[in-house]
Structure 1
Amino acid sequence: MLTSRIDQVYLATGATDLRKSIDGLAILVFVSPSLMAYTMHRKYSEAIPLYRQEKEYQNFGINLSHQNLANWIIYGANTWLKHLYNRMHGYLLKEPILHADETTMQVLNEEGAQASAITYSIIETAKANNLNPFYYLTYLFEKLPNIDLDDMEELDQLLPWSESIPENCKIPNKE
C-alpha cells in the first residue's frame, strides 16, 4: 500500500526516484528535476563545489550532504543524460574534423568520474548552442523519464541544437 502511494507521489511531482538500501532497509530519496538541474548547473557551470553547496543549504536550515548531492549527479547522468551523451557522441563520430579546447579525460578511476564527464559535456554543448544550462537540464530531466530512450528520433528532439528545444531554455540574443 505504501509503495503505491509513493509511486503516485513520484509520478505527480515528476521527482526522480533514487531507491537505496541501507542495512537491508529500503529507503526512497526523491529529487525534483529542477533541483537536480540546479545542483549540476552550480557545480559544472558556476564551479561551485558540492561541499560549498552543502554549506549554502545549511545556511538556510536545509540538511543536504554533499554526498547526497553527488549521488543525484551520478544518478541523473548515468540514468538519463548518458542517452543524450551517447547520441551526441554518435553525431560527432560522423564529422570529418573535430576540434576541442578542453577535454574531460578521466585520469582517476573514481566513482562518479564518468558521470562528471557526461554532465560537463552536456552543459558545455548547451552553452555552445546558446542554451541556459539550468533551464535546459531541467527540461531534460522532465522529458527523459517520459520517452522511449531507444527511440533515436525522440532523443534527437532533445539534443541541444534541436529546433524543438523550448524558448525558455534559450538565452535571449543581446542585440
Structure 2
Amino acid sequence: MISHEELEEFICQFPVYQYAFFKPEEIDFSFRVRWICEKECERYNSTWACPPAVGTVEECRKRCLDYKECFLFSTIAEVSDVINFEETLATRKEHEKITAAIEAFVREKGTDCMALSTESCDICEVCTYPDAPCRFPQKMHPCVESHGIIVCELAEKYNMEFTLSANQILWFGILFLK
C-alpha cells in the first residue's frame, strides 16, 4: 500500500488545504444524508454517481469497509461570493482534476483505491443512466454523500475546516485505499 509520506509528497503540487488519514471503520454512515439526496437533489436517480445507482447505504458501507484506510482531503477555490451557486459549482472542476490525479498516482504506486468526490459526476453531457452502462466507470467519482457519508462530520472529527469565508469554498474528496 502507498505510504503516507509518498502521498503527502505528491499532493504538495496541488492546492490541497488539509487532509487526514483514518480507518474506514471510523466513518459513521448515515441514512439521513441519503434522504436529502432523494428529496432535495435534482441529480437523484439520474446518474451512475448518485443514488440509487451507487447502491443502498448499507451496500456502500460494505464497499467502503473493504478498504484498509481513507485519505480525506480538501481544496480551496476562490469565488466572488459562495452564495453565487453557478460560480461556486464552476470551481469544482479543478477539484475533480486533482482528485483524478491523486487517484491515478495511488494506482500507479500499485495501491487499489476508490475515489469519492463532490456533487455528482458530470463527465458526460448526458449520462447513460439507467439505459446503458457508464461510459467511464474508471473516471467517474461518486459523490461522498451518495455513500451516506456526512462530510462536515468527518471534517470536524479530524480537525479540518468545513467553511472558510464568503469568498472561499472548500471541496472535499475521499480516497479509500487497499
Q: TM-score of the superposition, structure 1-length normalised?
A: 0.25
Pick the structure with greater CA Rg.
Answer: 1
Choose between structure 1 and 2: higher strand proportion: 2
Choose between structure 1 and 2: higher helix proportion: 1
Q: TM-score of the superposition, structure 2-length normalised?
A: 0.25
